Structures are given as C-alpha cells and as structure tokens.
Amino acid sequence: MKLSYDEKIKLKQESLKRKISAFSSYYFEKDIEMLCLKLVDIMSQQDHVMFMQGKLKNWASAIVYLIARLNYMFDNLIFETLSYEDIEEFF
C-alpha cells in the first residue's frame, strides 16, 4: 500500500521533531524546544513542504541553528556557549 503525500509529510514531520527533541533535551530549555517544534509544524502546513527534500539531519540542524541564533544562544556574554560544531556533531 502506497502512502499518500500527506502521510509522507506526517512521517517526516514526526521524525524531524524526534531529532530536534533529542537535541533540545540536552542543550535547550523547554520553551526553546517548543519554538523549534512549532516551526516544524508551520513548515509542514505550507503548500510546498521544504523538508520533503534533502536530508532530515540537515533540516533539523538548520531549524535548531535558526532558533538558537534568534535567541542569542551563540552569544558568549549571555549564555554558556553553544557552537555550530555542537549542532553539527549531534546530527
């Protein structure tokens, strides 16, 4: 039985969320994790679901990087540093 496109989106969405949650449980507080997961939900509702193309590890690292960057998590003066290498090594 073939999966419909919507079912494929749902499977990739859940897989992407699991990857992000695994990273977030180690590096982020719950509110930052929720922002990452909300972004995945928003992306999955678009007409063209971008994470259907490419590797999920790349999408997971890009989403984590974006949310971390927007929340100043790479700023040494505010937080213990989170580096892009940390993200890259995890995924």
Of 9, 3, 62, 10, nearest to 36 by C-alpha is: 62
pTM for this predicted structure? 0.83
- Residue predicted with more confidence, 91 or 6: 6
18-31 residue pLDDT tens: 999 999 988 888 99
51-70 residue pLDDT tens: 999 999 999 999 998 998 88
Length of the chain: 91
